[in-house]
Structure 1
């Protein structure tokens, strides 16, 4: 449990570097996708940490294998908290990574990844990535708070 939480914190440090150093100088969609991948890894570690904690506290008997079932179980166990918005962001990030995309204005400030999710287009630029990064950081703090208070 603690190990997974530490892994999540380490991933957040890597995302921080990608955002403030690598993306600043390269401004490519590939760098944006790398950052999204790290955000997903951070969520994976945070969710695993919460699930291990829940199992330890006898709130669940087993830890599901698939990411979607992990999300559903966490929403069920921690429904009184605001975990739903974090799980929705996690699922959106996964969809962004799996969906087809195009690049716009690479090597410029307004570099944008345009993804096709279902029948709608989703634009992801540096400002939106910063929001995702900040929400992911809040998720790690949220997990840490639940484990420490428990």
Structure 2
């Protein structure tokens, strides 16, 4: 459980570096894709920690491998609206990670990655990706509080 949380916060450190160092000098959609992938990994580690806590408390007997199953098991056993919002955010990031995208204004301050998710156009720029990072950081702090209480 602690190892999964440790891995989650290590992924956040990598995202921090990508946003505040790599993105400053590179400004490409490839950096956005890498950031989204790392955010997905970080939340995935957090969900693993929650599942290990449920297994430790003998509420579940086996931890599922598929992300969709992980989310549904957590929704079934933990009735927390904030956690459900985290899961929805995680599923959105996963869709963003898999979606086809178009590049615009690369190598400029207003670099934009345009995605189509469920028929809806979503634009990702430096401000959005930074907000996703801050949300993920808050979500992982909340998951840490749920699992180990600090």
TM-score interval, normalised by the smaller of the two chains? over 0.9
TM-score normalised by L of structure 1: 0.95
1:87 equivalent in structure 2 = 87
Taking the aligned partners of 1:35 and 1:57, their CA distance within structure 2 comes to 33
1:45 equivalent in structure 2 = 45
1:126 equivalent in structure 2 = 126
Cα root mean square deviation, aligned: 1.3
For structure 2, the 5+ residue unaligned runs are none
1:74 equivalent in structure 2 = 74
Residue 31 of structure 1: how far off its partner (Å): 0.5
1:99 equivalent in structure 2 = 99
Taking the aligned partners of 1:32 and 1:149, their CA distance within structure 2 comes to 32
Taking the aligned partners of 2:9 and 2:122, their CA distance within structure 1 comes to 28
For structure 1, the 5+ residue unaligned runs are none
1:65 equivalent in structure 2 = 65
Taking the aligned partners of 2:28 and 2:19, their CA distance within structure 1 comes to 11
TM-score normalised by L of structure 2: 0.95
Number of paired residues?
150
Taking the aligned partners of 1:43 and 1:78, their CA distance within structure 2 comes to 16
